[in-house]
Structure 1
């Protein structure tokens, strides 16, 4: 219990971030405090853990693992890479128990020690996929029931309005809580991996079905009330009532059996020196975080490009693509034009230790009014950088080449870009950029725009350096 009490103190940056998320009652981790409270109680119920001696070599290896994950936490916390920092904390908890009580004891408690995984930001990575899946399933339901509608990805146009299956409609909250309930049932019943997997699959399916039914009912309500129902603006309570109506009966009828305690034979008690060593190894990361230097803000983050790119102001009439504005925080936006093409360079630099090097990247284009179709990008070195955007009402088409720069590293993938924070930090770099090239397509298609933008992209890629 002392270890659990010390973790929020030693690793305060991560826990402060988690505490904030757990208090956002409308977000996906609003169950965090309750779940962690259950976890602490279950740990208390398991005490005292069985102590088993192991070879000195094994103890030393576990100690190295404990120090390694503590230092990994510091590295990820310095750039506010929440997910990897939180996963490092889970590994730290396991290695600390293994170091103090022995690896067999830690392994026997693996299901207990994994409970906090349902209270971290790991699940946020699923949000986009769940939104797309919801749009696909609900779109098929709309077609099956013959509701007059035009379906374009996550946008559903009915005669009385436009319904967008946005990020908040992913059902992520139901998904995480259903998985957590299924996992707790499995733990209390003493299930092992073979029994655990089917339970989690059933829990996930129930959560997904709940969300799909919820969205479909809202579409029906919007259609038959001509979008006038109050439910169209405030349906949070409705969603939870539907979730309870579907998932609680499944929880009630879930089989119950008495959990058998792990059959481990104790051979003594951990010494005070062993516990002290565990705490010292655990403190390696927080100490590194404390002494790490803060970022410098002396150098300019403005970009100098060849004179063939003409600077333009952000309110210039030449910038016809301003409705493609990115939802990315910036300290400096630079706008350029060249022939029909437009270039936007969004620059950002973390201001202090513990801030993200790569800021939160929202939608890179307004998906409510534009749809995106990947096209052949073999002409450009950054995979997946090129896309064709089409306005959902006017049909206007725009070609876009877009990529990220983190320090001296480049990528067109937002996920890879987040990982590039680590080598950039180790290289002492603190600047992030989003480079966006756009050009309208002509009546024959986007072939001309592709050739033009690929040439410009190569020039820009060579010219931009931190």
Structure 2
């Protein structure tokens, strides 16, 4: 006699709903294939998100563990879930309009998860709450935390070195100790450790604890431990380099020591956590909650609405693409005002690192012995390979060995008489501590939808509004910079230039948009 656990047959009331769910997932994969391919390509090229390849198999295994509990539940399509999918579709559309991969990939995952209650019902979704939630670890999001994590790592390392009796001189993410020069770069941020720890820690907590309080506590520990471990790792590596005369922890072994230390810490964390594990619950099926015959009466209307929701954003994209200007833009900045004349660019070996603009302009200006540089990166026809706001677009990338960003802050500039929010940054050439190194004061602002904007988020929002209003996606970054000696005269130079020529820059951008 076959027991329930060994029976291979599928309950009759699950055959239709499961077939419909497979078709919906297939439709999702076809309609949003570019988003899926983008996610997979990030998993493939980035070690930080390589765990994404494991997420889907783990989710399928977690669902399989729950199969007996789910089998006797009655699928009930939910129109409410379909309405919630409208929100995910709106997020995907907004992200696609302004080429924000994180938004489109998050929205796709939301659609995939919401397809469960939409087709199978909320009871099924609740029974699979953790597997569905775990799907979000497949979304490669986290790079936005990198600057903050780098700052924390640098802060801790410098404080720890000083407490150890080692003098430290710091500028930005670089610091000098008597034995040498160190930099906190992306690899030192600990983002890989953090994401790996939280992903595995969440799964460990779900499988080993039944109490929500214990699960939440262990997840919190899996967040805090990699942060502190990364700080200690950075400090230990600097100390190894310092006391070994920079023969240890300065090359490939730098990474080896880091991962070895992290692995030991995480193993200890899991070993301690296992001591408080709780028995697994009985995963056998529970009684049916409703007669199978009444389960799927509403399916045609719900499925039709679901398909319409999934197709909707693609129709909008198609219509907007037809209105997009695809001509190559031509930039020019002529007729400088108030005595400013075209001149040499200050520090010609530096240029903002904005990736793949449709057009670029680098121009110098001079007046009464003062120098100003103007950089404009113009973007049209934006997509994944060309976009104004991106984590790789920076004044100075950390891979630049000739220049570094010493400080950054927000501020305002008297742009043609009107206060405009700008990003301010001080840049330095050569190594930290070199008093003779060239320095620049730079102001950065985005031009989007005929507005001057400093915020990345607001630039994205106005970019989406511009496209939805049929104005295309033309936008630009404007960086104005001048040599600085720290006396305040550099700010006065920039104020004088934008007061006189800010309107000219905007007019030039508007003319470029119309061509």
Q: Distance in 1 between matches of 2:318 and 2:81?
A: 25
- 1:101-140 matches, cutoff 5 A: 101-140=120-159
- 1:35-114 matches, cutoff 5 A: 35-47=55-67, 48=70, 50-51=73-74, 53=76, 59-114=78-133
Residue 385 (structure 1) aligned with residue 428 (structure 2) = no
Report how far residue 348 of structure 1 moved: 2.5
Partner-residue secondary structure (3-state), 2:108: helix
Residue 322 (structure 1) aligned with residue 339 (structure 2) = no
* Contact 1:96–1:278, Cα closer than 8 Å, also in 2: no
* Contact 2:168–2:175, Cα closer than 8 Å, also in 1: yes
* Structure 2 unaligned regions, length at least 5: 1-20
Residue 296 (structure 1) aligned with residue 331 (structure 2) = no
Q: Distance in 2 between matches of 1:40 and 1:356?
A: 35
Change (3 A) 1:454 1:78: closer
* Structure 1 unaligned regions, length at least 5: 313-317
**TM-score when scaled to structure 1?**
0.85
* Contact 1:78–1:355, Cα closer than 8 Å, also in 2: no
Change (3 A) 1:324 1:96: same
- 1:189-208 matches, cutoff 5 A: 189=208, 191=210, 194-208=213-227
* Contact 2:190–2:226, Cα closer than 8 Å, also in 1: yes
Residue 228 (structure 1) aligned with residue 271 (structure 2) = no
Q: Distance in 2 between matches of 1:343 and 1:288?
A: 40
Change (3 A) 1:117 1:301: farther
Change (3 A) 1:166 1:345: same
Residue 422 (structure 1) aligned with residue 464 (structure 2) = yes
Q: Deviations over 1:279-329 (max 9, x none)?
A: 6245325743773526432252424454436556xxxxx222334421112
Q: Deviations over 1:351-391 (max 9, x none)?
A: 66996464554331356634125375374633343344455
* Contact 2:342–2:365, Cα closer than 8 Å, also in 1: no
Indicate which of 436, 440, 444 corresponds to 2:479. Answer: 436
* Contact 2:413–2:422, Cα closer than 8 Å, also in 1: no
Q: Deviations over 1:142-187 (max 9, x none)?
A: 1111224322232121334321111121111110011011211232
Residue 180 (structure 1) aligned with residue 180 (structure 2) = no
Change (3 A) 1:459 1:194: farther
- 1:270-289 matches, cutoff 5 A: 270=296, 273=300, 276-277=303-304, 280-281=307-308, 283-285=310-312, 287-288=314-315
Q: Distance in 2 between matches of 1:431 and 1:81?
A: 16
- 1:208-357 matches, cutoff 5 A: 208-229=227-248, 231-254=250-273, 255-257=276-278, 258-259=280-281, 265-267=288-290, 268=292, 269-270=295-296, 273=300, 276-277=303-304, 280-281=307-308, 283-285=310-312, 287-288=314-315, 291-292=318-319, 293=321, 295-298=324-327, 300-308=329-337, 310=341, 318-329=344-355, 330-339=357-366, 340-350=371-381, 356=387
* Contact 1:372–1:390, Cα closer than 8 Å, also in 2: no
Q: Distance in 1 between matches of 2:377 and 2:132?
A: 42
Q: Distance in 1 between matches of 2:388 and 2:287?
A: 46
Indicate which of 31, 50, 57 corresponds to 1:10. Answer: 31
Q: Deviations over 1:396-450 (max 9, x none)?
A: 5433221112343431123432343322321342323110111223574235325
Indicate which of 402, 407, 424 corresponds to 1:372. Answer: 407
Larger CA deviation: 71-80 vs 433-442: 71-80
Q: Distance in 2 between matches of 1:190 and 1:109?
A: 16
Report how far residue 395 of structure 1 moved: 5.8
Computed over aligned residues only, the root mean square deviation of the Cα atoms, in angstroms, reads 3.2
Partner-residue secondary structure (3-state), 1:371: strand
**TM-score when scaled to structure 2?**
0.78
Q: Distance in 2 between matches of 1:375 and 1:11?
A: 38
Q: Distance in 2 between matches of 1:99 and 1:178?
A: 32
* Contact 2:240–2:249, Cα closer than 8 Å, also in 1: no
* Contact 2:201–2:219, Cα closer than 8 Å, also in 1: yes
Change (3 A) 1:155 1:138: same
Partner of 2:11 in structure 1? none
Larger Rg: 2
Q: Distance in 2 between matches of 1:342 and 1:248?
A: 53
Indicate which of 345, 355, 363 corresponds to 2:394. Answer: 363
Equivalenced residues, count: 456
